[in-house]
Structure 1
Amino acid sequence: MTILVVGASGATGRQLIEQLLIQGHNVKAVVRSPEKLPASWKSNERLKIIVASLLDMSDKEMMELTLDCHSIASCLGHNINWKGIYGQPRKLVVDAARRLCNAIEANKPESPIKYVLMNTTGNRNGDLNEPISFAQKCVIGLLRLLLPPHVDNEQAADYFRTQVGQNNQFIEWVTVRPDGLIDEDQVTDYVIHPSPIRSAIFNAGKTSRINVGNFMANLISDGNLWNKWKGRMPVIYNKSSLNN
């Protein structure tokens, strides 16, 4: 099967691609800066690198990009600098999701395409009663006012939850919510919960990027795992961080 990865050159996107290649998948990676990619990728026959700015693609190019894909995984995010946070495109994640899903629906695939979206524990699942403290509500409200990337993440998750929904003929989805992201070299034990079990603001756990990549890859590969979490917003923590 072929998996399309957008946000492939980011820290988590690179880990996801490595996990997909380990599992034997064919991967298409859309990147804007190929010079950042590992040298081994350029000689890997199972990896096709597409140098492009995703939102600059035409609708026809989007349809061609997604036509032969069994799954799409998005690790898109905003660079942590002034331009990345306050510059354009402010709705990178949600606009990419909307356009890719429109392309999928236009292609009318025979079987539903899996879409895995990387998100954040700072975003609540509106389908569940996920209680948070008054203080956290206040902080999240400030983030919405001050940090456009947080709003982008919220809107992307809500797009799948309310627009794509649970019964779309052509698209199934999972929104993966890691807690505080860290770098590690190896996959370690991790746990998955339907909702956060710690405060994302005041008592955040840790989630390694390689574990996020492993879980996203497993969702795509493992039908039973997919059926367990499709249409939901699972939260992933490193198991070791829950002891702190």
Structure 2
Amino acid sequence: MSAKTILVLGATGATGRRLVAELLARGHRVRAIVRSSSRLPAELRGHPQLQVIEGSALELGEAALAQALAGCDAVASCLGHNLSLRGMFGPPRRLVTDSVARVHSALADTRPERPVRVVLMCSAGVRNADLDERVSIAQRFVLLLLRFLLPPHADNEQAAEYLRSTVGREDAAVEWSVVRPDTLQEGDEVSDYELHPSPTRSALFNAGETRRVNVAHFMARLATDDAAWDEWRYRMPVIYNSEKQEGDA
């Protein structure tokens, strides 16, 4: 497999830094947009295959964002809101959605020779409107409250819906996949994990578990492996630790 160039958003987050490490370990070139390079792990800073761009996808000028995207094969977003009052309720409330939309607009303007893969980390609590993903009345009620009470949940829903309906399946600049982990766990080793087109359990009342490192591993596969991409392109796979792994933990 030839080396690819991947732009990572949210590279200093708990999942994003694992994704950067996974991509570099696979021999790919990584560009990371970060607010401060000092927040990257020491073992990543200075890696010859890593280019660090300080700023954010919302704040970079058009020319700078276009340069960051130039020649990229994929963009992987691990963006999320900090679990603090300011992070949850302060601006930007549409961090994920507006970043994805800005990347899409920049790619549409630059007209890449072939569509760029956009891999978005979301959550199992976000529904895929293309499928008949049934949820209980109780879960629907709680999700309705979350949309109004917790802006990050609404942001995740809107970002996934932007890719599904605004970008769609005929866009000349972008192809996409939305990765939906359930309750995120720490852990340094990749374990067995399962992939499903839709949730197999309630994200609210019977939540599963997903190691961050497993999410990073799968996102790296989507960004760089053609077979994985062909299977999950224009879909929203749900990822869980395998049941055997959960039982052994």
TM-score of the aligned structures, taking structure 1 as reference length: 0.97
The aligned counterpart of 1:95 is 98
- 1:1-54 deviation per Cα after TM superposition (whole angstroms, max 9, x unaligned): 210000000000011111101110000001113222111222210001111132
The aligned counterpart of 1:211 is 214
Q: 1:243, CA displacement in angstroms?
A: 5.3
Is 1:50 the counterpart of 2:86? The answer is: no
Runs (5+) with no aligned partner, structure 2: none
Matches within 5 A, 1:182-193: 182-193=185-196
The aligned counterpart of 2:85 is 82
Is 1:198 the counterpart of 2:214? The answer is: no
The aligned counterpart of 1:127 is 130
Conserved? CA contact 1:176–1:235, under 8 Å: yes
The aligned counterpart of 1:61 is 64
What CA RMSD, in Å, does the superposition of the two structures yield over aligned residues? 1.2
- 1:217-241 deviation per Cα after TM superposition (whole angstroms, max 9, x unaligned): 0112211110110001000000036
Runs (5+) with no aligned partner, structure 1: none
Is 1:32 the counterpart of 2:41? The answer is: no
- 1:175-217 deviation per Cα after TM superposition (whole angstroms, max 9, x unaligned): 0000000001100000000000010000000000000000000
Higher helix share: 1
Distance 1:243 1:141 in 2: 32
Number of residue-to-residue matches in the alignment: 244
* Partner of residue 227 from structure 1, selected from 223, 226, 230: 230
Aligned residues with identical type, % of pairs? 49
Distance 2:76 2:46 in 1: 22
TM-score of the aligned structures, taking structure 2 as reference length: 0.95
* Partner of residue 75 from structure 2, selected from 64, 67, 72: 72
The aligned counterpart of 2:139 is 136
Conserved? CA contact 1:205–1:242, under 8 Å: no
The aligned counterpart of 1:175 is 178
